[in-house]
Amino acid sequence: MHCRVATTQRELDDAVRVRWTVFGGELGLMTGWMPPSRREVSCFDTLDTTVHLVVYADAAPVATLRLLLPNPEVADAIGGRLGLELEQKLDLSEVVRPGMVVAETSRFCVLDGWRHSEAVTRLHAGIYEESRRRGVTHWLASANLDTDSREDAMLSCQVAAYRGWMSQRWRVDVPEPVDAPVIPSNPYYTPMERLRAEQGLLDGLRVPRAPTLFARKMGARFISEPLYDASFRRFTLPLIAALDEVPASTLARFNALAQHPLRRAA
């Protein structure tokens, strides 16, 4: 198994096909018109400031992640400061401070059957190595909360705060989730779990896999209340992670993979 930076058309195609398989097939998040090519693509994918990483098991792509670096053209078009995708939804002007080089990680996808495997660590190690190489100091992202219920999304945020995962340095406001369904179709918590939360019994309550992984493995901290992503019909939790604050245990796992470094084209 190895991770590589996509530098060819075929490798980029591998990345967007994995994204379709996860988002459109396994998770059922893609609705409306179904493109016959079965690729999940966006206008950010072909920018020269975008980096795609793909993890391969032998020759088969099993995981992918996208790194968006600041883009002046996009920043000018959207009236932002960074030109990142997340900046279309959030005002990030108060996040960036002198000395910071910020990039956005997104489209984190691992095929079913590989989500509890070495593929996840290799993807994280790859994005860490590539970000260091490019001088990135902080990542921004928005972790999937696996629900379209605002109540459950807020409860996940509450449990994350209880665990000490909310940032003490950064805070941004989110827009009202006007597109969120009035009657959710994908609850995350059970009625018993909600009752426990109402009683203040937060010990042992679950937090969805994506934010838990970011917080525990990458040292991420959340910077706002949940944000509704209408394109995927899920609430997400915006976060920031400082590369200098990635836990030592995670770096040790990365070092253990160092004998198989991130591959690039010659």
pLDDT tens digit string along 3-31? 999 999 999 999 999 999 998 777 777 66
> What number of other Cβ atoms are within 10 A of residue 100's Cβ?
12
107 within a domain of the structure (yes/no) = yes
**Contact in structure between 190 and 218 (CB atoms under 8 Å):** no
- Determine the Cα–Cα distance for residues 31 and 39; give it in Å rounded to an integer: 13
266 within a domain of the structure (yes/no) = no
C-alpha distances (whole Å) from 81 to each of 47, 91, 141, 180 are 17, 9, 16, 27
Q: Which two tokens stand for residue 107?
A: 């489209």
- Determine the Cα–Cα distance for residues 260 and 50; give it in Å rounded to an integer: 23
User: Residue 69 gets which letter from DSSP?
Assistant: P
Domain, as residue range, for 157: 2-256
Q: Using 50, 70 and 90 to split pLDDT, how confident is the model at 264?
A: low
Q: What is the pTM of this model?
A: 0.91
**What CATH number is associated with residue 166?**
3.40.630.30
What's the number of domains the chain is made of?
Answer: 1
Structure confidence by residue, pLDDT tens digits, 233-247: 999 999 999 999 999
200 within a domain of the structure (yes/no) = yes
Which residue, among 233, 25, 262, has the nearest Cα to 131 in the 3D structure? 262
